[in-house]
Amino acid sequence: MTCADVAKIQEGGHISKASIYVNAFGANLPKRRASGRPVFKAMMSFGVGEETSNAADGLLVYGSHDSKLQADFERLIGADPVYGSTSEFRAVQDAYLEGDEGARIGDGSSEFLEMLAAQRRRLYFTLPDGEAGYSRWSMTAFRFAGDYLGIIESFKAKRSVSEAVRGRIVKGLNRVMTGLLLENVDRIFIASSGGFTQSRVSALCDHEVSSRRQGGIGMAIKLNEDAGRPFLDVSLAPGLGNSISFDLTPIRLEFLSRVAEGALPASFSSECHEDLLAFKAKLLRKAELVRKAGLAADEDEIDAEASVLTLNFIDIEPGGRGFTRPVAVKAPT
């Protein structure tokens, strides 16, 4: 706005158009101008205003009329008469809820939807920390960003990473690497499809490790001090050189968490999916090296005339928990 616009806005009762919560995302600027500035480009990438949750929208749309939500509405929205429950917002809201059909379809709803986006942005900034019913991060494109920050805070406070977060990461890893809806959070299956690289399902387990580092084997979540970011370190055998690391960026954690919650791997981010498949390929190569090193140590004990190959297939119990089922195959002589 210009200085000349201020008086007009005040006189018209449209003070909410100068909302600091909206301006923080550059929504008061033309999109081209806002996207050309790094700070607004970064802020807009969170999708605040466009992204939402059923709980947040239920509160904003029906909160003033629903007896179960009225207390929350007054506490979180009604308490702010300048940018929250303004007379203008209530009037447009009533027209949307109680007006004719034209107020809810097509261009008739555009004014209310624009105000709703502004209210989401305000709510994102003003929600109290630890608000039980309404998650701040659920109104963004990064629904699990709170978990990502929690991992970093855990390292700073020298605490263990939350078991719920660790379990979600492991479940996502298993589902990407096998293509199966596994529920396991205690182990990681490093699986292949027996040479069929284009197969979406990999039911042949080449190697499995614990989801927690024990005796130098298993997965550990560590912090890269220089980058300030966490990473996964999966060790397949004790000793240096037997582990593969994977940088855990916010988008990669989001990808793994959404896959763990039921999203299809390729439906959220094909780039993240490719990154995880590349990580899996590295683990498979490392597993092969570890296996060859183990065979070399026991070479004298191998019976050449009884060439038996054991394949470990992944089966799933009714509850979704995976387990390996060994199948012995005698090689032709």
- Of the candidates 235, 232, 328, 214, the residue with the CA atom closest to the CA atom of residue 290: 235
- Of the candidates 47, 71, 48, 46, the residue with the CA atom closest to the CA atom of residue 59: 71
Cα–Cα distance for residue pair 65/96, rounded to 1 Å? 13
Among residues 78, 113, 139, the one where a domain terminates is 139
- Of the candidates 246, 239, 313, 302, the residue with the CA atom closest to the CA atom of residue 276: 246
* DSSP letter assigned to residue 204: E
Cα–Cα distance for residue pair 246/233, rounded to 1 Å? 6
Question: Does 183 lie in the same domain as 284?
Answer: yes
Residues 6+ apart with CB under 8 A from 34: 25, 26, 27, 40, 41, 44
Q: So what's the pLDDT on residue 4? A: 82
Question: Does 172 lie in the same domain as 290?
Answer: yes
Question: Does 158 lie in the same domain as 110?
Answer: no
- The token duo for 230 is 């966490």
Look at residue 327 and tell me if it is in a domain.
no
Burial-class residue 331 by CB neighbours within 10 Å (0-12, 13-18, 19+): exposed
Question: Does 130 lie in the same domain as 189?
Answer: no
Among residues 113, 139, 165, the one where a domain terminates is 139
Question: Does 287 lie in the same domain as 173?
Answer: yes
Look at residue 178 and tell me if it is in a domain.
yes
| Distances, alpha carbon 264 to alpha carbons 49, 181, 186, 196, in Å | 25, 10, 22, 20
Q: So what's the pLDDT on residue 13? A: 75
Q: So what's the pLDDT on residue 286? A: 93
Side chain identity, residue 22: V
Domain range for 74 is: 3-139
Look at residue 306 and tell me if it is in a domain.
no
Question: Does 158 lie in the same domain as 125?
Answer: no
Question: Does 176 lie in the same domain as 117?
Answer: no
Question: Does 188 lie in the same domain as 120?
Answer: no
Burial-class residue 29 by CB neighbours within 10 Å (0-12, 13-18, 19+): middle
Cα–Cα distance for residue pair 113/91, rounded to 1 Å? 13
- The token duo for 320 is 């979704």
Question: Does 116 lie in the same domain as 45?
Answer: yes
Q: So what's the pLDDT on residue 333? A: 61
Look at residue 331 and tell me if it is in a domain.
no
Q: So what's the pLDDT on residue 302? A: 46
Cα–Cα distance for residue pair 124/135, rounded to 1 Å? 9
Burial 192-224 (b: 16+ CB within 10 A, else e): beeeeeeeeebbbbbbbbebbbeeebbbbbebe
Q: So what's the pLDDT on residue 96? A: 86
Look at residue 183 and tell me if it is in a domain.
yes
Tens digit of each residue's pLDDT, the chain (333 residues): 678 888 888 887 777 778 889 989 988 888 888 888 999 999 998 999 999 999 999 999 999 889 999 999 999 999 998 899 988 888 888 888 887 776 666 666 788 898 999 999 999 999 998 888 899 999 999 999 999 999 999 999 999 999 999 999 999 999 999 999 999 999 999 999 876 555 788 889 999 999 999 999 999 999 999 989 999 999 999 988 899 999 999 999 999 999 999 888 767 788 999 999 999 999 999 999 988 887 444 444 444 445 777 888 999 999 999 999 988 877 666
Cα–Cα distance for residue pair 136/151, rounded to 1 Å? 17
Question: Does 167 lie in the same domain as 118?
Answer: no
- The token duo for 258 is 């959404």
Q: So what's the pLDDT on residue 232? A: 97
Look at residue 310 and tell me if it is in a domain.
no
Look at residue 238 and tell me if it is in a domain.
yes
Question: Does 133 lie in the same domain as 174?
Answer: no
Q: So what's the pLDDT on residue 193? A: 83
Among residues 139, 173, 198, the one where a domain terminates is 139
- Of the candidates 125, 119, 76, 74, the residue with the CA atom closest to the CA atom of residue 96: 119
The label of the residue with tokens 């947040």 reads: 56
Q: So what's the pLDDT on residue 298? A: 43
Look at residue 311 and tell me if it is in a domain.
no
Domains in the chain, number: 2
